[in-house]
Structure 1
Amino acid sequence: MAPKDPRGGPPPGGGAREGPAIRAARARDAGAMAGVLHAWIARTPWMPKLHMLGETEGFCRSLVPGALVAERDGVAGFLALEGEEIVALYCRDRGTGVGRALLERAKVGRERLALRAFEANGRARRFYAREGFAEVGGTDGENEEGLPDVLMEWRR
Structure 2
Amino acid sequence: MNGARPARARLWHVPQMTAILWDFIHRTPWLPRVRPYRTDLRVMARITRRGWVRVLRDARGPAAFIARDGARVHALYVHPRAQGMGMGRALLNDAKRAAPRLELWVAEANEDARIFYMTQGFAEHARGCGAYNDERLPEIQMIWHQDRSAAI
Task: Report the TM-score, using the length of structure 1 for normalisation.
Answer: 0.85
Structure 2 partner of 1:74: 61
Post-superposition offset of 1:53? 2.1
Structure 1 partner of 2:75: 88
Does the aligned pair in 2 maintain the 1:80–1:86 contact within 8 Å? yes
Give the one of 93, 97, 111 matched to 1:122: 111
Aligned partner of residue 143 in structure 2, secondary structure: strand
1:47 aligns with 2:31: yes
Which amino acid is 2:35 matched to?
H
Aligned partner of residue 21 in structure 1, secondary structure: coil
Structure 2 partner of 1:31: 15
1:110 aligns with 2:113: no
Which residues of structure 2 form unaligned runs of 5+?
A: 147-152
Structure 2 partner of 1:12: none
Post-superposition offset of 1:20? 3.5
Structure 1 partner of 2:134: 144
Q: Tell me the distance in 1 between the aligned counterparts of 2:105 and 2:31.
A: 15
How many residues get paired? 140
Does the aligned pair in 1 maintain the 2:47–2:53 contact within 8 Å? yes
1:153 aligns with 2:143: yes
Post-superposition offset of 1:19? 3.4
Q: Deviations over 1:123-144 (max 9, x none)?
A: 0000000000000002101211
Post-superposition offset of 1:83? 1.5
Task: Report the TM-score, using the length of structure 2 for normalisation.
Answer: 0.87
Q: Deviations over 1:103-129 (max 9, x none)?
A: 111111321000011000000000000
Which amino acid is 2:120 matched to?
E
Which residues of structure 1 form unaligned runs of 5+?
A: 1-16
RMSD of aligned alpha carbons: 1.2
Larger of the two Rg values belongs to structure: 1
Which amino acid is 1:19 matched to?
G
Q: Percent identity?
A: 36
Q: Tell me the distance in 2 between the aligned counterparts of 1:133 and 1:74.
A: 29
